[in-house]
Structure 1
Amino acid sequence: MDIVKSTTTDGSWYEVGNAQEIDSPALLVYPDRVKHNIDMATGMVGDAQRLRPHVKTHKSSAITRFQLASGITRYKCATLAEAAMLGRCGAPDVLVAYPLLGPRVDAFLQLSAQFPGSRFSAIVDHRSVADRLSAAAVSRHASVDVYLDLDIGMGRTGIPMGAEAEALYVHCHSLAGLRAAGLHAYDGQVREPDPERLRQQCETNFRPLAALVERLSGQGFPRPEIIIGGSPSFPYYAEMAEVQCSPGTFVLWDHGYAVDCPDQAFLPAAVLFTRVISLPGPETICVDLGHKAVGAENAIERRVHFLNAPGLLALRQSEEHLVLQAPAGHGIGLGDVLYGIPYHICPTVNLYDAFNVVQGGMVADSWEIDARQRFRYAADTD
């Protein structure tokens, strides 16, 4: 496959010497690169206590333990399965940054009781959510820290900043069983590659949030904690000593952020391992990387970037197959291994039961992705 061989600048760091022993598709992880990314993030904020990384990207106890060992004590998650994983790891501070509705309220409180060494907190963006959480906490003689979820342009969850947000924070403070701890804001809509424009967007988004903090402090409330940002805006908020930063993708990185955030020097630490399973035509190949093996929410051309065959173009995909266009005379044969970085690593990780751990150029271990399954309410809340 000489015609489409790798054009990467750092060599074949991703290749494994025991490829013939590895079934495909598989998700490889490189611990040295994971540690590099964690060290880089802690260095950017200057104090590990200012990091509150989102675990939705890796969903694994093994990587959580790397983060704990680096001094990170605060975490963010989306699912109760992720929260339970953090509890099992002994994470001191866990924010469930997803609305608690239906059976999740009681299950969340059960987790708090099950893992007393972890402080579990929640977000609220509506009075009825706060009221329900308060009543449930009181019935269990519990107290829950809550963060007001603010919409700073994502248009997904969160209450718009202004008088309504201020009133909801005051309401949460008045409710038995709750403690208004601070403000939470996610700016996933910010994808600006130019550092100066990124700064301008973040400043615009942060200005009304800072004003809300001053109004609440002026009413005599303890100064609210601020949890803000994702991976693209992380460099901006890393410079603000008064906020907690909550990037997630940084720990594994992906090709989408490598393109959108060219000034960030995180390393790809997870790679897809796939094989050529068919040669349907002289300039087409088929690999075993279907919808079930790589995040498929993006357009077909933005799903995977092949490190050792960057000239391949994705044509179509089904559950178990990905058909690719290759140059004439490509030389790729049946059984050849391709290594790809997904454009979006978070949903890709969720498709696998385990990482294949690469050490010394060989797959030498596996790490369970133990928070990928949905929370089992009946088993964990009896």
Structure 2
Amino acid sequence: MSNNKQWFQIADATTIDSPALLVFTERVQQNIQTAIEMTGDSNRLRPHVKTHKCAEITRMMIAAGISKFKCATIAEAEMLGMANAADVLLAYQPVGPKLQRFIQLIKKYPGTVYSCLTDNVDSATMQSKAFAEAGLTVPVYIDLNVGMNRTGILPEEGALELYRFCAKAPGILIKGLHAYDGHITNSNFKEREKEANAVFLKVELLVEKIKAAQLPVPAIILGGSPTFSIHCKRPEVECSPGTFIYWDKSYLVNCPEQKFLPAAILITRVVSLPGTGLVCTDLGHKSVAAENERSKRVFFPEHEHLTVLSQSEEHLLLKNQSSDIFKPGDLLYAIPWHVCPTVALYDTIIIVEKGKVVTTWKNIARDRKISV
């Protein structure tokens, strides 16, 4: 281990119970400024708040000049209303009870302009009826399937007709197009750029058809974190990265062209040494995102030789392949491979400034419901 103090080491770490999630606000601020510089205009940023789920982090972005946001849940949308965000897209197609909750949310936070997605005539009809009956006219974006095959309508098959339908539907103000290209994750930047350009071409062709039909010219919301460095150069596109706020090991490896800094780190402790070369910590499934295979769940920057053997709900078993000696109680710092679902495992984050713990903030939108 190097004797040089690294950015994540803090003076009072021994007093913090583990596992815990630490956030370094100076780095968060730097990441916000980097994102603004990459687009050249804060009005072209629509950050996705699924990563941080925190009103205080949202307010940092608002203070930097960002006014548009994107979210995936009603709770995240309410958190944004509580933070006085001006413009919020629920990047989800609300149906059933969620549609009624969305209407309640719009009425509860009149200072925030809320919009949502739709990708088929049946859902758009339900939305139109519900919005009109509530006395609302709600901005709506057509959700496009550009290759992720999760939600959305194919740009070439029915998207124009759906756009035309929404342009006439009561209770709906057709606003634009939304396309998430989360399937593009190639670590080779040139290949990733090629795939992102192909996605944008599909969207461009649809925009031309919409213009030719003399329908309202659509705004375009496009991309996530892996393609942000590509779409940020398109002046007609609003970009919605999310992970940039904290960054993580996955993007450090796969998107080195983006100069964001890891701003969140886990602390964990050695709880047992169950055999030769074995180190067990308290970083179980409940403490770090576990959807990836074992080698891509967590990274120890001070101990790169530690490899994951197994993980259970409360324990992470590591293989020590070096001469480093560990003992129970030793503190380890770990960068998650996927920070977004890791944040959702923590009710609060510990805020660090100038190398010291200063307070805690709640990840208030990690729950499915705040009040609405």
Give the alignment's TM-score, normalised by structure 1.
0.95
State the Cα distance separating 1:117 from its structure 2 match. 0.6
How far apart, CA to CA, are the structure 1 residues paired with 2:252 and 2:246? 11
Measure how far apart 1:275 and its partner are: 0.4
Report SS of the residue matched to 2:236.
Answer: coil
Q: How far 1:348 sits from its partner (Å)?
A: 0.1
Contact 1:282–1:328 (Cα < 8 Å) also in 2:
no
The aligned counterpart of 2:177 is 183
Question: Mapping of 1:154-173 within 5 angstroms?
Answer: 154-173=148-167
**Residues 283-322 of structure 1, C-alpha deviation per residue, up to 9 Å, x if partnerless?**
0010000000000000011000012211100000000000
Deviation per CA, 1:157-206: give whole Å up to 9, x if none: 00111141111111111110001100000000111222322221111111
Q: Give secondary structure in 1 for the equivalent of 2:273.
A: strand
Q: Which moved more, 1:60-69 or 1:367-376?
A: 367-376
Find the aligned partners of 1:329 and 1:89 in 2 and give their Cα distance. 49
1:304 equivalent among 298, 302, 315: 298
- C-alpha separation between the residues in 1 aligned to 2:88 and 2:31? 21
Structure-2 separation of matches of 1:6 and 1:201? 40
C-alpha contact (below 8 Å) 1:52/1:75 kept by paired residues: yes
State whether structure 2 residue 74 is matched by structure 1 residue 80. yes
Aligned residues: 372
Segments of 5+ residues of structure 1 without an aligned counterpart are none
1:60-109 superposed Cα distances (whole Å, 9 cap, x missing partner): 00110010011101000000000000000000000000121220101101
Give 2:118's aligned residue.
Answer: 124
Paired residue for 2:24, among 7, 26, 30?
Answer: 30
Matched, 1:269 2:270: no
Indicate yes or no: 2:62 matched with 1:64. no
Matched, 1:235 2:223: no
Match of 1:349 in 2: 343
Query: Is residue 87–residue 118 contact of structure 1 (8 Å, CA) maintained in 2?
Result: yes
- Measure the CA separation in 2 of the matches of 1:121 and 1:319: 38
- Residue 251 (structure 2) aligned to one of 249, 257, 282: 257
Q: Percent identity?
A: 46
Give 5+ residue unaligned stretches, structure 2. Answer: none
TM-score (norm 2): 0.98
Report 1:1-382 matches (<5 A): 5=1, 11-327=5-321, 329-375=323-369, 380=372
Give, as a single letter, the amino acid of the residue that structure 2 aligns with 1:320: E
Task: Please list the CA deviations of residues 9-44 of structure 1 after superposition, one character each: whole Å capped at 9, or x if unmatched.
Answer: x84110111112100000000000000100000000
SS at match of 2:122: helix
DSSP-derived class of the 1:366 partner: strand
